[in-house]
């Protein structure tokens, strides 16, 4: 969509919204929910984020390839399947929450802020404190939408193209507005089941602490219906990397997670489907899961598990929710770049950090500021109470390894919650969060743990603190 047409679309959406705050009395404790689905596929030629090697990189750098949207990366050549933005809007009295999912590599904080501004211009009541943005972590989704220079230069998202960032922000804003406008009295329920055998731990080959089946099997499902029992939304929360397609794929795709969503919609009875990734920092899809792509042999197994879990949930019109959100400054990075820590690195070309380190014999700590990478993430906790059961959903601003995910779940239960949903890749994207043992071992995830050996503690403490704000 051209920028001028985007502005027209914004104005048209804003006109009928009026004041949603007046539509429901502030003292009404009824749970209201609305859902929206927006095709957010960016123009042909957008770089595909997620890989820094293979067909994704231009072969002769620093000579630019003179394309409309790429600098260091090869332009995409087509669309295998659309990338989408979806939103679930919730309201109860004066309490609001907007849960937004996007088929993207990461949830950039700047994009999120711009999207909230656009939603507000269209008449929405959304705020930075009430909107959570969750990236699916597809490695074939759009790049060039984040200003973080480190991501542009290292793991390959390419330099920011403001036109693309604005177009995606408008799509997110539209989804927020449409979901808010569509709110009706609703019922809600939450449960967690176990889904083994579709993922593997990719660090098992280098870590003595892990086996291939050292995964997070928790499949969280949030069911939302209207009061007649018609499905509004199904949120599924699971730890899996979007890497069924490798760097040789040059077509836009939402990867395995999008394949599952498409299958769920085809089967029917689930409403709008929304995927929230979890502690997938070291969790890949199993080889058999990706076979048959783009149909994905593992997609029916995942979809059937989601449907089964959803059917077992008894949603309640008396469900309640609470939300808390705060910014936690991490400060400059403490990236320990040494040849010893990079011994498990696989070089991907002349631009990757492993090759550069070998050339200049690096042995230093890099203290990079916010112009390089986001360092003041927003943590958000949403509490759902259904028939006496308390569920915590807590955001994590990057890629937590499964060990950290286990620790955060234990902390949540210790606070008094009955179950915990981990929302990784949410609100910001600040790299990997390796636990101390895995950090010392090295490897890709360790190398991209930017705040040193204490990174996972920073994340864990922030999750526990924000969780505590909604338990009392």
Q: Which of 36, 15, 8 is nearest to 272 (CA)?
A: 36
Residue 101 lies in a domain: yes
**What's the pLDDT band for 58 if we cut at 50, 70, 90?**
confident
Q: Which residues contact 376 (CB under 8 A, 6 or more apart)?
A: 327, 328, 329, 330, 370
Query: Which residue intervals of 332-400 are DSSP H helices?
Result: 353-360
Q: Which residues contact 60 (CB under 8 A, 6 or more apart)?
A: none
Q: What is the pLDDT of residue 181?
A: 98
Give the number of other CB atoms < 10 A from CB of residue 144: 26
d(C-alpha 105, C-alpha 108), whole Å: 9
Residue 300 lies in a domain: yes
367 is in an annotated binding site: no
Residue 345 lies in a domain: no
Residue 472 lies in a domain: no
37 is in an annotated binding site: no
> Distances from the Cα of 85 to the Cαs of 96, 133, 176, 266, 315, in angstroms?
19, 10, 9, 18, 25
Residue 348 lies in a domain: no
d(C-alpha 43, C-alpha 78), whole Å: 9
Residue 458 lies in a domain: no
Q: Are 176 and 87 in contact (CB under 8 A)?
A: yes
Q: What is the pLDDT of residue 63?
A: 54
**What's the pLDDT band for 2 if we cut at 50, 70, 90?**
very low
Overall number of domains in the chain:
1
CA-CA-CA-CA torsion sign (305, 311, 313, 319) = positive
Residue 435 lies in a domain: no
Query: Quick one: 5 exposed, middle or buried, by C-beta within 10 A (0-12, 13-18, 19+)?
Result: exposed
Residue 471 lies in a domain: no
Q: What is the pLDDT of residue 357?
A: 58
pLDDT at 187 over 90: yes
What share of the chain has pLDDT > 90, as a percent?
A: 78
d(C-alpha 48, C-alpha 142), whole Å: 5
Give the number of other CB atoms < 10 A from CB of residue 350: 12
Rounded to the nearest integer, the mean pLDDT of the chain is 90
Beta bridge partners of 115: none
pLDDT at 361 over 80: no
Task: Please give the residue range of the domain that contains residue 138.
Answer: 3-15+22-318
Which strand (E) or helix (H) includes residue 112? Answer: helix 109-121
d(C-alpha 224, C-alpha 218), whole Å: 19
CA-CA-CA-CA torsion sign (400, 218, 406, 97) = positive
d(C-alpha 412, C-alpha 405), whole Å: 11
């Amino acid at each position: 969509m051209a920028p001028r047409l985007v502005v027209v679309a914004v104005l048209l959406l804003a006109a009928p919204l009026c004041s949603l705050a007046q539509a429901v009395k502030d003292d009404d404790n009824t749970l209201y929910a609305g859902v929206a689905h927006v095709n957010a596929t960016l123009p042909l030629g957008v770089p595909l984020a997620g890989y820094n090697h293979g067909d994704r990189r231009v072969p002769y750098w620093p000579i630019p390839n003179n394309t409309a949207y790429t600098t260091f990366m090869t332009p995409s050549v087509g669309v295998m399947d659309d990338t989408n933005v979806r939103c679930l809007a919730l309201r109860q009295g004066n309490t609001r929450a907007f849960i937004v999912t996007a088929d993207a590599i990461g949830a950039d904080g700047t994009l999120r802020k711009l999207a909230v501004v656009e939603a507000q211009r269209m008449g929405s009541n959304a705020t930075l404190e009430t909107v959570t943005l969750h990236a699916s972590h597809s490695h074939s989704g759009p790049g060039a939408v984040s200003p973080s220079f480190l991501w542009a230069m290292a793991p390959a998202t390419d330099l920011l193209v403001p036109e693309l960032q604005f177009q995606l922000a408008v799509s997110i804003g539209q989804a927020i507005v449409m979901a808010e406008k569509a709110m009706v009295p609703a019922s809600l329920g939450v449960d967690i089941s176990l889904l083994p055998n579709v993922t593997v731990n990719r660090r098992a080959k280098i870590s003595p602490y892990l086996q291939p089946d050292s995964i997070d099997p928790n499949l969280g499902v949030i069911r939302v219906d209207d009061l007649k029992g018609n499905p509004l939304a199904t949120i599924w929360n699971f730890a899996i990397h979007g890497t069924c397609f490798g760097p040789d794929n040059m077509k836009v795709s939402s990867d395995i997670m999008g394949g599952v969503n498409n299958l769920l919609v085809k089967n029917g009875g689930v409403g709008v489907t929304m995927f929230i990734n979890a502690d997938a920092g070291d969790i890949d899809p199993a080889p058999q899961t990706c076979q048959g792509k783009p149909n994905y042999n593992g997609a029916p197994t995942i979809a059937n598990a989601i449907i089964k879990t959803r059917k077992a949930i008894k949603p309640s019109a008396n469900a309640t929710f609470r939300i808390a959100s705060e910014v936690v400054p991490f400060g400059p990075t403490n990236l320990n770049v040494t040849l010893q820590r990079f011994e498990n690195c696989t070089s991907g070309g002349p631009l990757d950090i492993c090759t550069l380190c070998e050339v200049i014999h690096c042995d230093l700590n890099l203290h990079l500021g916010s112009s390089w990478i986001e360092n003041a993430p927003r943590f958000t906790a949403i509490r759902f109470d259904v028939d006496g059961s308390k569920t915590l959903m807590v955001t994590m601003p990057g890629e937590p390894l499964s060990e950290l995910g286990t620790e955060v779940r234990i902390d949540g239960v210790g606070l008094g919650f009955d179950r915990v949903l981990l929302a990784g890749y949410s609100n910001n994207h600040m790299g990997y969060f390796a636990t101390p043992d895995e950090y010392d071992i090295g490897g890709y995830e360790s190398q991209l743990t930017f705040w040193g050996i204490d990174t996972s503690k920073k994340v864990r403490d922030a999750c526990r603190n924000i969780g505590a704000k909604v338990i009392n």
